[in-house]
Chains A and B, each alone.
Chain A
Amino acid sequence: MVDENRRETLKIFIGATAALGIGALTTPLVGSLINVKEMKAKAAHGSIEVVLCESVDNCPEEYSVPIDELRKGPKFVLLKKGTMAIPAVFGLVNVGGKEYPVAYNTVCTHFGCPVNPSGGKYLIGFSCPCHGSQFIICTNPNGCDGHAFLEAYVSTGPAPQSLRPIKVAVKGDRVYALRAVI
C-alpha cells in the first residue's frame, strides 16, 4: 500500500518536471510563431542597460579613450562597474568625411563569443569568429533598411539581433562611455 503511494508521488513529480521542462523549451518557439507584436516589444529582446556614469561631466578617465588614439584605429577597453566587466571596442566611423565616435559591447548576440572589429583606421563592423556572424555599422544618417544610424546590424550569420551598443559622449578630447547595454 505504502509502495503504491510512493510510486504515485514519484510519477507525479517526474511527470510534472518533464511537463515543465517541455513547456519551458517550447514556449519561445510557440511565442515566436505567434509573433505577437506587443509581446516582442515588451520582451525588450533580452538586453539590460547599465549606467556607467550619470553625465559626461563626472565620468572617470577609465571609461574613456582619447580621440587621437581612436584616429589610429579601434581600441579595446574592458569597462568595469561593480562586479561587471563589459568588453567594449571604441572606434571612429567615417560618414562622408565626418568622423563619428562609437562604442559597442563586443559580446556576440548569438552565443556570446567576443567579436573581432573589422576595418583599418575607421571602424566598419565586426565579425564573430565562432559561427561567422557579421555586423555592419550603418553609415547612412537616414538609416539602413529599418536599422538606425550607427546601429551595428547583422548582415549575415546566425546572430539574432544587432550588436549591443555603448552610449558615448565627447568631452574635450576624449570619448566617454556613459551607458552600456549588456
Chain B
Amino acid sequence: MRFFIRLWEIIIERFHLKEFLEHPVPRYSNLNPLYWIGDVAAMSFFILAITGFILAWLYTPGVSTTVTTPPDILSGHTTAESYIATQSYGSVYRIMYLTPLGFIVRQIHLWAAYMMIFATLAHFFAKFILGSYKRRGGGALWLLGVLLGFLTISQAVLGYILPLHLDGILALQIGLNIFRYFDYLGIPVGQLTLALLGSNFVTDQVIKIIYSLHILIVPAIILVLLVLKINGILYGGVSPPPVKDPAAREKALQEKEPFYPHRFALTAGLLFLQLSVLLLLVAVFPLPLLEPWVPGQPVPAGVRPPWPVMWYYTYVKMIDPFISVGLPFVLVLFALVVPLLDRNKGVSIEERWVWVLIALVYIAIIGYGTVLGYLIDLPKEITPITRIAVPPEYATPYISTPTPVGP
C-alpha cells in the first residue's frame, strides 16, 4: 500500500502536477450542487468519447439495403421474421445483439448522452441563478458555455440520426427541410443544403457527412471549448457565493484549501458515484433499438422525437410554425445577451430575483414543452398563415400536355 502512495507522489512531482494540483480552491463551492453540475457534464462527455471510440470501430455508415436483420429483442418480438434494413441500421443491430459487450457499450453511450444533456441544461440553469457572468472573465465563460450547450444538443441530434432507424431518418429529413418551410429564407436554405450535402434526401454522402460531424468535427470543437472553460475556472476561480453581505462573501472567498487532496478526493468520489448511477441505469433500464426503415416503406403516424428536442416539437405543433420554428435561435440569442442586459453588481438571490425569475421561466419553457410532448396524444392540426400558390410549371407532373395511356 505504501508503495502505491510513494509511486503516486513521484508521478505528481515528476510530471509537475504538484503545483497544478495543489492550487487553493474556496471551500464554499465544495458540496453545493450549483458548482459541480458542470463536472458531471464534462465527465459524461469523456464517457461518450470513450464509448464512442468503441462504437466507431463497429459502426458502418451506409444507406444501401443489402442487410436483413431479425427483429429487436427488447421490444418483445419473438418471431423469426427478418426485414430489410439499411447498412447503418444493420451495423447498429450487430453492435447491439451480435457483438459481445456491444449492448453494454451502446447503452452506456445512450445514457451518458442523456446525462450530458440533462447536466448541461442544469448547469446552464445553475450559472444563470448564480449570476456567474458578472465576475471578471465570467462573460467569456458564459459565451463558451452557451456555445457548448448548442453543440451538445447538435451532437445529440446527429447521433440520433446515425442508426438510421425510423425516428433517425425522420429527424434527418425534418432537419434538412424544416427551414425551407419559410417563403424567402427557405430558398437560400434549400440551396445551401444542396450545396453542402448534395441532396435533401438521405444518401450515403449525407450519412458520411453526419458521421464525420458527429465523431470528429463537433467533438473536437467541444473539446477545445471545454479546455478553454476549465482553464478559465482554474485561473479565474469559480463564481462568488450568492450572499448579500460583502463581508460574509469575502470571508467565504478567503476560506481556502488545496485542490489536492481535498477537492480532488471529493471530485473523484462524485465522478465515481456518477458513473455508478450511469451503469445502474444501464443495467436496470436499457433502451431498445427503434424499428428500421427503408425509403419506399410506408411511414407510420405518431412518431415522436427523443426527449432532448421534444420541447421544440411541442411548440412547433402548438404555435404557428412561422413563429415557433425560430424558437431555438431565440433562446440561444437570449442566452447570449443575458450578460449584457444584467448589469447590476449584486450576486445574492434576493438582489437578483428578477433574473432568477427569468431563469425559471426559461427552464420552464423547455420543461413544459418536454412534458407536454409526452402527454399530448393526437397531433393538433395547424394551418399556416399563408399557403403558397405554386406556378403551374412547378406544380404539374408533365412538361406540355398530359397524355393518357390507354388499354
Contacts and interface: CB of A to CB of B under 8 A. Distances in A.
Contact of B402 (A27, A41, A100): A100
A43 B397 contact: no
Interface string A140-168: 00000011111101101110111011111
Given A98-B406, A99-B405, A161-B388, A148 B395 contact: yes
B302 to A, nearest CB: 8
Contacts of A1: none
B379 A132 contact: yes
A84 B199 contact: yes
Contacts of A157: 381, 383
B177 A112 contact: yes
A160 B404 contact: no
B12 to A, nearest CB: 37
Contact of B388 (A78, A146, A160): A160
Contacts of A101: 405
B221 to A, nearest CB: 18
Contacts, number: 215
- The CB with the most chain A CB atoms within 10 A, among B170, B182, B323, is that of B182
Contacts of B303: 129-130
B14 interface: no
A131 B177 CA distance: 14
Contacts of A107: 173, 177, 200-201
Contacts of A103: 397
Interface of A (DSSP majority class): mixed
Interface stretch (B50-58, B98-106, B268-276, B291-299): B291-299
B181 interface: yes
Interface string B182-211: 111111001100100111111101000000
A49 interface: yes
Given A18-B333, A32-B385, A45-B388, A130 B170 contact: yes
Contact of B183 (A45, A100, A102, A111): A45
A84 B193 CA distance: 11
A178 interface: yes
Interface string A9-52: 01100110110011011011101100100011101111111000
B296 A78 contact: yes
B399 interface: yes
Interface of B (DSSP majority class): loop
Interface residues of A, number: 85
Contact of A146 (B205, B302, B389): B389
Contacts of A78: 201, 295-296
A110 B394 CA distance: 16
Interface in B271-297: 295-296
Given A21-B333, A28-B322, A165 B397 contact: yes
Given A28-B182, A43-B187, A82-B198, A14 B295 contact: no
Contacts of B300: 129
B199 A83 contact: yes
Contacts of A132: 301, 379, 381
Contact of B391 (A21, A41, A84, A167): A41
B68 interface: no
A84 B203 contact: yes
B321 interface: yes
A114 B295 contact: yes
Contacts of B249: none
Contact of A130 (B174, B203, B336, B406): B174
A162 B395 contact: yes
Contacts of A181: 394
A35 B333 CA distance: 28
Contacts of B63: 85
Nearest to A110: B181
A124 interface: no
Contact of B173 (A112, A146, A168): A112
B392 interface: yes
Given A157-B381, A158-B382, A162-B390, A46 B402 contact: no
Interface string A104-123: 10011111111110000000
Contacts of A31: 183-184
B338 to A, nearest CB: 11
Given A154-B387, A160-B387, 17 more contacts: A27-B184, A29-B322, A31-B184, A84-B199, A84-B203, A109-B181, A111-B178, A112-B178, A112-B200, A116-B298, A130-B301, A131-B381, A149-B402, A160-B384, A161-B388, A162-B390, A165-B394
24 contacts: A15-B340, A25-B330, A27-B184, A28-B184, A32-B386, A39-B184, A47-B190, A47-B390, A47-B394, A83-B198, A86-B199, A99-B405, A100-B404, A112-B176, A113-B174, A146-B389, A148-B395, A148-B396, A151-B395, A161-B388, A162-B390, A167-B398, A169-B398, A182-B200
By Cβ-Cβ distance, the 4 closest A-B pairs, closest first, are A112-B177, A83-B198, A76-B296, A165-B397
Interface of A: 10-11, 14-15, 17-18, 21-22, 24-25, 27-29, 31-32, 35, 39-41, 43-49, 67, 76, 78, 80, 82-87, 92, 95, 98-104, 107-116, 129-132, 146-151, 153-154, 156-158, 160-162, 164-170, 175, 178-179, 181-182
